[in-house]
Structure 1
C-alpha cells in the first residue's frame, strides 16, 4: 500500500524535537545541579528510549 507524499515538516518534526530536547538537556547538565540534573537525565533518556522502541517495533 502506498502512502501519500509527506512534506519536510512531517518528515523531520520528530528528529528535530528529539535533537532540540537533547541540546536543552546537555546545556542543563552543564549549567547546574538539582532540578537541572533531573531535566538532563530525562532529556537524554528520550533518544535512548526512542531507539529501543524503534528496534522493538522493527522486530515485531
Structure 2
C-alpha cells in the first residue's frame, strides 16, 4: 500500500495531547499556586489547538 503510515506516525500527536491533558489534570490535583498555573497552561493546549484548527484557513 502506497502512502501507508505506521501506528507511531498516526498516534504521535493525539498521544502527546492526551499526555499533556493528563499532566494538566494531575497538576491541578497536586498543589496550589504554581501547580494551578501549570494546570491552566497544560489544559489550554487542547483548547488552543481546537481553536487554531477550527479557524485556520484552508
Shorter-normalised TM range:
0.7 to 0.9
- The C-alpha deviation readout for 1:7-41, integer Å capped at 9, x for no partner, is 11011100000000100110100110011111100
Shift of 1:46: 0.3
Name stretches of at least 5 consecutive residues in structure 2 with no aligned partner. Answer: none
What's the TM-score, normalizing by structure 2?
0.87
Name stretches of at least 5 consecutive residues in structure 1 with no aligned partner. Answer: none
Runs of 4+ displaced beyond 2 Å: none
Shift of 1:4: 2.1
**RMSD over equivalenced CA pairs, Å:** 1.4
Number of aligned residues: 57
Q: Secondary structure at the match of 1:5?
A: coil
